[in-house]
Structure 1
Amino acid sequence: MTPERRFSFRTSGRLSFSGDMATRIECGMVSLLLEIFTAELGENPLSGTALWGKDLVRFLHQRDEEALRTQGIDPWTGEPDPFAGMFGEGT
């Protein structure tokens, strides 16, 4: 198994133009994603909270997501999608 490559990720506040609000995170991509999903970083480095502290995460290829939407199924819940067909999916 190849060791995880390490990167330096830098995040900054949306309205900040100075480095004062910047955060530097040293880790590999897999580690960064795991720490975001499990909320193990000191604070959320993302502008949204959709991925922060999620117990269950999964990868869903765009092709599979589109196929489920075409069938009228919400790809993230597996339940019938009440908005199916309203926005031109599957056309």
Structure 2
Amino acid sequence: MSQAAEREALRHLVPPPDEAAAPIDWHRMATSWGREFPPDYRHFVDVYGAGSIQGYLVIQQPEYKDAEPASPYGGMLLETRNAEHSWAQENKSPELAHTHPVLITWGVTAGSDLLCWDASRTDPATWPLLVRNRDDNLWRRHDCGMVAFLVRLLRRDFAECPLGDTALWGRPSSLFLREAEQKRLWAQGVNPWEGKR
């Protein structure tokens, strides 16, 4: 499936917000990290922004590596450090044994799964995904991009659910909300994921 087809499939599975996302200085971001970010992630963040799918999978806001983390509770910088620590301590699937990836975390789940790129290749469009499933504390590789991974997860196209919880597994219609919208709804006494007070 082409990247355009993957993006369109994701739009049907997870409609983007109506309002435009805050712009990201991708050139500065690349300078800060010493590498470009994958084009599918850049497009996702430009259209959707950072936020959460069904209150379960958080898509990380890109943060400049040479700055302080935006939050002491999470975010791309802190979650990347968490991933590096986890990588050093936990088991890997056989194809990952004796590998030394450059990890960048783009997503985390409510169940503490970590979704990362192995950013060691020159071309970010070819970065594989490394997913740490919290249930078995095992790292596995998926040779696809971030958007393709989300589409396959939501369509149940993997042999088994790659995450520790099946909250998004085979879910044909999901809600994406940016953090500010989630906070606004909670402040009004509305559960943003159920639409109920």
Report TM bin, short chain.
0.5 to 0.7
Matches within 5 A, 1:43-58: 43-58=160-175
Alignment partner of 1:60: what SS? strand
Alignment partner of 2:128: what SS? strand
Q: Percent identity?
A: 31
Q: How many Å separate the matches in 1 of 2:126 and 2:176?
A: 22
Q: Which structure exhibits the higher relative contact order, with contacts defined as CA atoms closer than 8 Å and separated by 6 or more residues?
A: 2
Q: How many Å separate the matches in 2 of 1:6 and 1:75?
A: 35
When normalised by structure 2's length, the TM-score is 0.33
Gaps of 5+ in 1: 17-21, 81-91
Q: 1:42 aligns with which of 140, 159, 173?
A: 159
Residues 1:28 and 2:145 aligned together: yes
**Greater fraction helix:** 2
Shift of 1:31: 0.3
Residues 1:8 and 2:128 aligned together: yes
Q: How many Å separate the matches in 1 of 2:132 and 2:189?
A: 39
Q: How many Å separate the matches in 2 of 1:69 and 1:75?
A: 7
Q: 2:129, 2:146 within 8 Å by CA — same for their partners in 1? A: no
Which amino acid in structure 2 is aligned with residue 75 of structure 1? P
How many residues in Structure 1 have an aligned counterpart in Structure 2?
Answer: 74
Runs of 4+ residues over 3 Å off in structure 1: 10-13
Q: 2:129, 2:145 within 8 Å by CA — same for their partners in 1? A: no
Q: How many Å separate the matches in 1 of 2:142 and 2:173?
A: 23
The alpha-carbon distance between structure 1 residues 6 and 33, as it changes in their structure 2 partners (threshold 3 A), is farther
Shift of 1:62: 0.9
When normalised by structure 1's length, the TM-score is 0.66
Q: 1:6, 1:29 within 8 Å by CA — same for their partners in 2? A: no
Q: CA offsets, 1:27-74, max 9 Å, x none?
A: 111000111111111111111111211121122011100110111111
